[in-house]
Amino acid sequence: MEIVVCVKQVPDTTEVKIDPVTNTLIRQGVPSIVNPFDKNAVEAALQLKEKHGGKVTVISMGPPQAKDALKECLAMGADEALLISDRAFGGADTLATSYTIACAIKKLGNVDMIICGKQAIDGDTAQVGPEIAEHLDLAQVTCVSKIEVEGNSIKVEREHEEGYEIIETQTPVLLTVLKSINEPRFPTIKGTMKANRKEIPTWTAGDMDVNPDQLGLKGSPTQVRRIFTPQQRVQGEIIKADSAREAASKLASKLLEAKIV
Amino acid sequence: MQFQLTEEQKTMQKLVRDFAEKEVAPGAAERDEKEEFSREIADAMGEMGFAGICFPEKYGGADADVLSYILAVEELSRADAGVGITLSATVSLCAWPIFNFGTEEQKQKYLVPLTEGTKQGAFGLTEPNAGTDAASQQTVAVLDGDNYVINGSKIFITNAGEAEVYVVFAMTDKSKGVKGITAFILEKGMPGFTFGKKEHKMGIHSSMTNELIFQDVKVPKENMLGKEGQGFKIAMATLDGGRIGVAAQALGIAQAALEHAVKYSKERVQFGKSIAANQAIGFMLADMATKVDAARMLVYRAASFKDQGLPYSKEAAMAKMYASDIAMEVSTDAVQIFGGYGYSREYPVERLMRDAKITQIYEGTNQVQRMVISGSLLR
Ligand SMILES: Cc1cc2nc3c(=O)[nH]c(=O)nc-3n(C[C@H](O)[C@H](O)[C@H](O)COP(=O)(O)OP(=O)(O)OC[C@H]3O[C@@H](n4cnc5c(N)ncnc54)[C@H](O)[C@@H]3O)c2cc1C
Ligand SMILES: Cc1cc2nc3c(=O)[nH]c(=O)nc-3n(C[C@H](O)[C@H](O)[C@H](O)COP(=O)(O)OP(=O)(O)OC[C@H]3O[C@@H](n4cnc5c(N)ncnc54)[C@H](O)[C@@H]3O)c2cc1C
C-alpha cells in the first residue's frame, strides 16, 4: 500500500503570538514541532505499512526549515520525505495550500491512501485535508479513530460527539485522523541517524504541473483580517455545601434564578 | 572553539528529552518512594537504541558520538537519576570494555545485544574489602582445563540481578598483585552465579544495586576479557569513561534542581511578593546557574576529548568531581529555596538532594578524582 502523510510544522505553543501590524504569526524564537495530529497520522500509516506492506511518504509544504519536521517523521520510520517549498507558495490560505499539496500528490502518482491530521494546532481550520480530497476527486473520511484494511476496501470508525459511525469505502481514499487513533511512537536513535543523513528532495512550483494563479497569496480567496486569542471562559462557580443534597438544591435554585431551567 | 552542539547532537538531545519527560519523569517520585527499578523503562530505552548511540553500526550501534550518549545520560538523569545510571552502567561499564578489549566473537555475542538493547549490562569490581583500593581483590579465578573457576563476591553492583551480561574482575595470580587481576564476561544464569541482598540506599532508588556471589562459577576460557593480568588496566580505563557518565548524571540532577528552584521562587509569595524578588534568592539562583553551566562545559569537554581520541583521564576526573560537587551544592540550595516544602517529599528537590550524593562517591570517590588530577599535574 502506498501511503502519503501530509504533515505541517507548527510553532510549539498553544498561545500563538501574533504580529499586531501584519496579523501574521511571529515564528521567531518559538520552537517548531510536528503538528501533533500529524504524528498520529504518521503512526497510523506506519502501522498499516507494518501490517500490509508498502511505503510511507511524508510531505510538507512550508519554508526550508520544515525539513526538520519531515526528518522527525523519517526518524519515526517513514520511508520517504518530500518538501514542497517556493516563495510563490507564501501567504497561501487553506484552498491554495490544499491545491499545491494536491498537485504534488498527483505528481507522485499511484497513491492508495492519504492520511492527514484532523487539524493543525496553529490554524485550527481542519480544512486542508478535506480540500486535498476534493482537488484530487477522492473519497474522504474525516475524524477517523480506527482504520482496518482488507485488499481495496477499508473500514473506518469516524468519531463524533455522540459516538461513532462505521464507514466502509475503497482505496484510493483520504482520511483525517484524531489523536485517539493511536499513541505515536518515539523515533529511535538509529532512525534519527538515518533520517539526518537522508536527502530530502524539495519541489518548487516549477517542478509541478500547477496553475500559478492558484498558488500562494494570489490563489487565496480568504484573507486574514485579525487573529486573536479568544477570551478565556470565566471560571465556573464552585458550590460549597455540607452535603450533596444541600449542594444540589443550591444549584437548582441558582439555575432557576438564572432562568436556565 | 565553538560552544554549540551539532545539529545531530541537538536532535539526539531532543529525542531523549522527549522520552524522558513523557516516559521517565512522571513515575520518578513513585519509583523513589517504592525503591523500584523499572525494567519497562530499561527495555524501552533499549528498544529506542539509547545503549547503541556511540557504537559502530557494525556492532548494532547508531554510529553517533560519545557526546550524544552523554547528552542522553544527562537528559534521563534530569528526569530520574536512577534511570540515568542504569543506562550508564550498561553502556560505559559493560558495553565499552567489551567493545574496546573484547575479541570479535565476544563483541558479536555480548556487545551486540547490549547495543541493540535486548540485554542490560553490569560491572563488578567493588568488594567488601576492595573499594577505593580496588587492587586488593579477593575474588579468585583458577584455571581448570578449559574453564576458569570463580569464587568470591562483589558488593554495590549497579544493575546486578537485572543485567544479563557482567564484566567481572578476579585475581588469577595473587603473587603478581595488581598485575594478577583478570577481567571476565559472565552471564546471568551461569551455575553458581547468584545475587545477594538488594541494597537499601539513600538515593537513586530506581537503580538496582545488589551483591554478586560466585560459588565455583565455571567461566569458559574464551570469556576472559583482554589478557590474563590485564584486568586492573581494563578496570581503570573503563572507569575513566564511566566517570563522564556519572558526571552527566550529576549534571542532569543539578539542571533539574535549578529549574525547579527558578520556577518555585517565582511562584512562592512571602511578604507580599515572590521570594525570587529578594536579591538573596536571586543571587543564589545566579550562583546555581553558573555552576551548572561550568559543570556542563567540563562534562561536554571530557566527552568531546574522548570523541577526538585525545587522552581524557584528567578531563573526565575533573568533570566528575566538579559536576558531582555542584550537583550536591545546587540541589541543597534548591531545598533551601523551597523552604519547609523542600524538606517534604511532596516536592521533588529533596529526592534530587539525596540522588546527588552518590555521584560524589561511585566510580571513584571525589578524593580519588583529586588524586587522579593532582597525579597528572605532578607527574
Ligand atoms: C549505589 C552504588 C552503586 C555502585 N555501583 C557499582 C558498580 O556498578 N560496580 C562497582 O564495581 N562498584 C560500584 N559501587 C561501589 C563504589 O564504586 C564504591 O563504593 C566506591 O568506589 C568507594 O569504595 P568504598 O565504598 O569501599 O569506600 P572506601 O574505599 O572505604 O572509602 C571510604 C572513604 O575513604 C576515602 N579514601 C579511601 N582511600 C583513600 C585514599 N587513599 N586517600 C584519600 N581518601 C581515601 C574515600 O574517598 C571515602 O571517602 C557502587 C556503590 C554504590 C553506593
Ligand atoms: C520538619 C518541619 C517541622 C516544622 N515544625 C514547625 C513547627 O513545629 N511549628 C511551626 O510553626 N512551623 C514548623 N515548620 C515550618 C518551618 O518553620 C518553615 O518551613 C520555615 O519557617 C520556612 O518557611 P517556608 O517553608 O514557608 O519557606 P518560605 O518562607 O517560603 O521560604 C522559602 C525560601 O525563601 C527565602 N525567603 C523568604 N522570604 C525571604 C526574604 N524576605 N528574604 C530572603 N529570603 C527569603 C527563605 O529563606 C527560603 O530559602 C516546620 C517545618 C518542617 C519542614
Domain A2-226 class?
A: alpha beta
Give kind and range of the element (H or E) at residue B296: helix B279-307
Catalogue the E-assigned strands of chain B: 121-124, 140-144, 147-158, 165-171, 181-187, 193-198, 209-220, 224-225, 269-270, 273-274
CA angle in degrees (0–180, nearest 5) for A66-A32-A158 = 85
- Measured between alpha carbons, how far is B23 from B10 in angstroms, rounded to an integer? 20
pLDDT of residue A11: 86
SS in 3 state form for A201-247? CEECHHHCCCCHHHCCCCCCCCCCCCCCCCCCCCCCCCCCCCCHHHH
Residue B379 predicted with pLDDT over 90 = no
Pocket test for ligand 1, best of B361, B366, B371, B372 (most atoms within 8 A of CB): B361
The pTM for the full model equals 0.87
**φ, ψ of residue A70 in degrees (nearest 5):** -65, -40
**Mean pLDDT along residues A207-221:** 91
- Measured between alpha carbons, how far is A73 from A59 in angstroms, rounded to an integer? 10
Pick the range with the lowest mean pLDDT from A20-29, A168-177, B12-21, B67-76.
A20-29
pLDDT of residue A231: 74
Residue B359 predicted with pLDDT over 70 = yes
Residue B60 predicted with pLDDT over 90 = yes
**Mean pLDDT along residues B324-343:** 98
Residue A27 predicted with pLDDT over 90 = no
pLDDT of residue A16: 62
- Measured between alpha carbons, how far is B373 from B312 in angstroms, rounded to an integer? 11
**Mean pLDDT along residues A105-118:** 94
Residue A125 predicted with pLDDT over 80 = yes
Least CB-CB distance to B48: which of A71, A186, A193? A186
**Mean pLDDT along residues A133-138:** 94
pLDDT of residue A174: 96
Pick the range with the lowest mean pLDDT from A194-198, B280-284, B321-325.
A194-198
| Sequence ranges of the domains in chain A | 2-226, 231-261
Give kind and range of the element (H or E) at residue A156: strand A153-160
**Mean pLDDT along residues A187-207:** 92
Confidence of residue A14 (pLDDT cuts 50, 70, 90): low
**Mean pLDDT along residues B222-240:** 97
Residue B300 predicted with pLDDT over 90 = yes
Pick the range with the lowest mean pLDDT from A174-188, A218-232, B349-363.
A218-232
Contact B52 A193 (CB under 8 A): no
Please report residues of B whose CB lies closer than 8 A to that of A188: 47-49
Chain A closest-CA separation from residue B36 CA (Å) = 24
Of ligand 2's listed atoms, the one at least distance from the Cα of B338 is 32
pLDDT digits (tens, 9 = 90+) for B152-205: 999 999 999 999 999 999 999 999 999 999 999 999 999 999 999 899 999 999
pLDDT digits (tens, 9 = 90+) for A56-80: 999 999 999 999 999 999 999 999 9
Average pLDDT, chain B: 97
Grid cell of A155 as nine digits = 473500514
Residue A99 predicted with pLDDT over 80 = yes
Residue B363 annotated to the active site: yes
What is the residue with the minimal CA distance to atom 10 of ligand 2?
B340
Ligand nearest to the CA of residue B364, numbered in listed order: 1
Burial of residue B267 (CB within 10 Å: 0-12, 13-18, 19+) is exposed
pLDDT of residue B207: 98
pLDDT of residue B40: 96
Amino acid (1-letter code) at residue B60: G
Burial of residue A58 (CB within 10 Å: 0-12, 13-18, 19+) is buried
Q: Is the CB of B123 under 6 A from ligand 1?
A: yes
Ligand nearest to the CA of residue B355, numbered in listed order: 1
Least CB-CB distance to A196: which of B8, B48, B49? B8
What structural domains and CATH numbers belong to chain B?
7-119 (1.10.540.10), 122-232 (2.40.110.10), 238-377 (1.20.140.10)
* Paired strand residues for A27: none
Q: b/e for B176-194, b at 16 or more Cβ within 10 A?
A: eebbbbbbbbbbbebeebe
- Measured between alpha carbons, how far is A156 from A140 in angstroms, rounded to an integer? 11
Least CB-CB distance to A186: which of B8, B15, B63? B15
pLDDT of residue B137: 96
Query: 26-85 in B: which are within 8 Å (CB) of A?
Result: 47-50, 52-53, 62-64
**φ, ψ of residue B308 in degrees (nearest 5):** -85, 0
Instruction: Select from B69, B241, B63, B157 the least CA-distant residue to B77.
Output: B69
Q: How far is the CA of B267 from the centre of ligand 2 (A)?
A: 15
Residue A259 predicted with pLDDT over 90 = no
